[in-house]
Amino acid sequence: MGNSSGKGEGDEEQEGEEEEEKDGEEVEIVQKKKKKKEEDAEEELPLGVDELLESGDPVLDLSYRKFKRLPARFCGLTHVEKLYICGNSLRSLPESISQLQGLRILALDFNKMEDVPLAICQLANLSRLYLGSNRLMTLPPELKNLRSLRCLWLESNYFQWFPKELYELPNLRSLQIGDNRLKTLPTDLCCMETLRGLWLYGNRFQTFPKVLLSMEGLEILDLDRNKISEFPSLKRIRSLRLFSYDHNPVKEPPKVGEEVVVVGEGAAEFLEEREARKDRRRKEAEEAALAGEDTIIQGILKNSSSKQAANEDDFKEGKEKEAGSPILEYDADKLEYDEEAFEYETEELIYEGEGLEYDGEELEYDTAHMEYGYEEEMEKKVEA
């Protein structure tokens, strides 16, 4: 008898394929719903963020908001100039962040980035970029597009070699690359002529990188927490104003210029001795100036006495003298000489004034250093 129920083996196979296809479609729908739910959850901004976005403030702080991905709506805030998104769980940034062409400061510290997002490299007006405490090992060649970049912080990453991509940044003045894994510096590092501050603390240097001696424009150099046992004279770095070598196996500071502040083992005693020498020189200069002033006064008094005696003799002889007499002309010459002496004293005072001006420059430097410290404190507040 034939199979009147109607289904053969071919029909059963077809039904099985249809069921599998249906199951696959259901799984895909579930995954899409799950993804959309996650996206919606991400779009549900933390408390207070909506108000920040609507404020129109050019400074936007989104630090420690537990973002895994930056919501796309942030990329429409073209008025923002300073964006802080530290301490989240970001691995990348949306491409649309390149629309923020007014952005000057971008802080991405304490995230989970293994690569620098290429969209950042399109922010032409960016002057400060903070990428510390991520998972970076290299920098992209596209970084050279940041022609306005002046300050770059790369501390606490995984750089084993100095990134030569930095050579292409024509205005970079401050480079923070401490707490990495550097053992050497490239011999052509001196091509970074605009660099003024270089932080290399917490790396793996065992000898002082000699290329630094060729970087005469450096003003701040930090080599704390390395394994350097001997430092050469740093007087060749003519612009140096602050050198920190703390926590290296050395017992005394290297030779530096008279105006350089040093920080490290034995630095306090060194600075005290140098200040004492300056005081002695200052006192000697003051004593010499006072001695010169006494000589001038004595010369004037002597000249005045001679003039009075000559006038008395003339009176006794009954001679009438006019204002332009030879004796007065001679006296005028002597007084003119005394004026020159006074002029010399004035020059000494001007010289001392230059010393005060120099002290002002030191104070100005101290102020700049305090500003740097303030800036660092502000960064800590952003991170906290």
For residue 69, pLDDT beyond 60: yes
| 334 inside domain | yes
76 in any annotated domain: yes
The rounded distance, in Å, linking the Cα atoms of 99 and 94 is 10
Q: Helix H segments across the chain?
A: 9-43, 49-54, 267-316, 326-383
The per-residue pLDDT for 128 is 98
d(CA 260, CA 239): 9
Dihedrals φ, ψ of 350, to 5°? Answer: -60, -40
Which among 169, 204, 161, 203 is positioned nearest to 186, based on CA atoms? 161
The rounded distance, in Å, linking the Cα atoms of 120 and 136 is: 15
Is 218 domain-assigned? no
- Within 10 A of 336 (CB to CB), how many other CB atoms are there? 9
Mean pLDDT of 213-228: 97
Of 181, 212, 245, which closes a domain? 181
Q: 170 pLDDT exceeds 60?
A: yes
Domain-embedded: residue 69: yes
Spatial distance between the Cα atoms of 117 and 93, rounded to a whole number of angstroms: 6
Q: Which pair of structure tokens corresponds to residue 353?
A: 């004034």
Q: How many domains does the chain have?
A: 2
**Residue 89, CB-side half-sphere exposure with 13 Å CA sphere:** 5
The enclosing H or E element of 220 equals strand 220-222
Pick the most confident of 58-67, 220-229, 274-283.
220-229
Asked if residue 176 and residue 46 are part of one domain, the reply reads yes
CB 88 within 8 A of CB 69: no
Is 29 a member of any domain?
no
Confidence of residue 285 (pLDDT cuts 50, 70, 90): confident
Q: Give residues with Cβ within 8 angstroms of 72, minimum separation 6.
A: 94, 96
Is residue 274 included in any domain, yes or no?
no
Q: How far apart are the first and last CA of the chain?
A: 84
| Percentage, residues of the chain above pLDDT 70 | 62
Domain at 86, CATH number: 3.80.10.10
Instruction: Note the pTM of the prediction, 2 decimals.
Output: 0.65
Q: How far is CA 261 from CA 123, 244, 258, 264, 377, in A?
A: 37, 8, 9, 10, 21
| DSSP 8-class letter at 106 | E
- Tell me, yes or no, whether 100 lies in a domain: yes
Residue 175's pLDDT is what?
Answer: 98
Question: Looking at 181, 203, 225, which one is the last position of a domain?
Answer: 181
> What is the arithmetic mean of pLDDT over 114-132?
97
Q: Is residue 78 part of a domain?
A: yes
Closest CA to 154 of 167, 168, 139: 139
| 344: containing domain | 293-383
| Residue ending a domain, choose from 146, 181, 216 | 181
